């Protein structure tokens, strides 16, 4: 790409372009012809981006775009976890609950803007991701949000290969308890996303207008928008832009199976790759 652009060296722009092309496909040069669909995509992506922006101690939003991709995605939101999180390889219960709320941001934003009856299937991949992570939280990592869920115990009742490669180690009754607690975890994430987005919907509208105008915003532009919306909130959150090459990246895409749907044995539910492009932490390897 650097050669095509008649450059003598590879800059950050070429690295950014290559990462996007490998993980979410090529850009469609003609874009989205329908203004209605473009605005819908903007609200979906803005919901996730704003949720990440206003959630304390959560990943940096490195990029949000509504440029359609060759694999059918209408846009995506790119998050960058902190170096400390990546080095430890351990994710807290509160961090995972925040991730669920952020992931549901697109679906919730559609409901607020267009109403429950006009929500689209754009969030199907996000909902699969939420189900996958919440199931592991309850069935493998001993996390719960209700008193009934706490009775399940701090036991790794399930494994990824149970029923196929490994023995099933929990009873049908325990499986039902896990199902109910997973629903409670998801309901909690939905409620927190709806409360936050309802409170900050003016910021969502501001981001949507920017996306319709320039299609892609980077971390600095997003943080500037947050400061323009509420300087005190921006100062309290104290979020800093981080370049895509620093640490791991996580895509939240609206269509199809999410890139980050896999979870490693260390509970790494969040990263597409870390540091080196060749070391992927999910099934969609670079």
Kind plus residue range of the DSSP H or E element containing 185: helix 172-199
pLDDT for residue 18 = 67
Closest CA to 194 of 95, 133, 96, 116: 116
| Strand arrangement, sheet containing 273-274 | 216-218, 60-65, 76-80, 248-252, 273-274, 276-280
Q: Could you give phi then psi for residue 277, rounded to 5 degrees? A: -60, -30
Report the pLDDT value the prediction gives residue 75, as an integer from 0 to 100: 83
Residue 279 pLDDT > 80, yes or no?
A: no
Instruction: List pLDDT tens digits, range 171-208.
Output: 888 889 999 999 999 999 999 999 999 999 999 999 99
pLDDT score of 30: 58
pLDDT at 210 over 90: yes
pLDDT at 273: 27
- What confidence tens digit (pLDDT) does each residue in 116-157 have? 999 999 888 899 999 999 999 999 999 999 988 888 888 888
Structure tokens at 72: 């059918």
Convert the pLDDT of each residue in 26-69 to its tens digit.
555 555 568 888 999 999 999 999 999 999 999 999 999 998 76
Q: What is the mean pLDDT of residues 96-122?
A: 95
Q: How many helices, marked H, and strands, marked E, lie in the chain? A: 11, 6
Q: How many CB atoms lie within 10 A of CB 190?
A: 17
Superfamily the domain 28-280 falls into? Peptidase M41 (1.20.58.760)
Q: Mean per-residue pLDDT for 88-109?
A: 94
Asked if residue 272 has pLDDT above 50, the reply is no
* Burial of 235: CB neighbours in 10 Å, binned 0-12, 13-18, 19+: exposed
Q: Flag whether pLDDT at 283 surpasses 80.
A: no
Residues annotated as catalytic are 45
Q: How many CA atoms lie within 13 A of 270 on its CB side?
A: 29
- What's the rounded Cα separation, in Å, for the pair 268 and 286? 17
Q: Which pLDDT score is estimated for 168?
A: 76
For residues 253-268, give the mean pLDDT. 35
Whole-number Å distance between alpha carbons of 5 and 185: 48
Helix (H, G, I), strand (E, B) or coil at 252: strand
């Amino acid at each position: 790409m650097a050669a095509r652009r008649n450059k003598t060296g590879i800059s950050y722009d070429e690295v950014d372009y290559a990462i996007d092309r490998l993980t979410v496909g090529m850009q469609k040069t003609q874009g989205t012809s329908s203004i209605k669909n473009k605005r819908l995509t903007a609200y979906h992506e803005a919901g996730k981006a704003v949720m990440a922006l206003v959630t304390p101690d959560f990943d940096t939003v490195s990029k949000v775009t509504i440029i359609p991709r060759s694999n059918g995605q209408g846009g995506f939101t790119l998050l960058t976890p902190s170096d400390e999180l990546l080095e430890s390889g351990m994710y807290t219960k509160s961090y995972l609950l925040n991730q669920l709320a952020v992931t549901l941001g697109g679906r919730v934003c559609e409901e607020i803007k267009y109403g429950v009856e006009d929500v689209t299937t754009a969030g199907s991949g996000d909902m699969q991701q939420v189900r996958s992570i919440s199931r592991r939280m309850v069935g493998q990592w001993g996390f719960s949000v209700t008193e009934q869920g706490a009775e399940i115990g701090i036991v790794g009742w399930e494994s990824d290969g149970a029923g196929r490669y490994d023995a099933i180690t929990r009873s049908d009754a325990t499986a039902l308890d896990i199902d109910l607690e997973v629903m409670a975890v998801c309901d909690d994430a939905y409620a927190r996303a709806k409360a936050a987005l309802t409170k900050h919907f003016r910021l969502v509208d501001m981001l949507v207008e920017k996306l319709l105008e320039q299609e892609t915003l980077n971390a600095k532009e997003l943080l500037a928008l947050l400061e323009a919306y509420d300087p005190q909130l921006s100062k309290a959150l104290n979020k800093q832009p981080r370049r895509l090459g620093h640490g791991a990246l996580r895509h939240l895409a609206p269509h199809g199976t999410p890139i980050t749907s896999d979870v490693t044995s260390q509970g790494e539910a969040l990263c597409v790759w870390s540091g080196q492009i060749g070391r992927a932490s999910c099934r969609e390897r670079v």
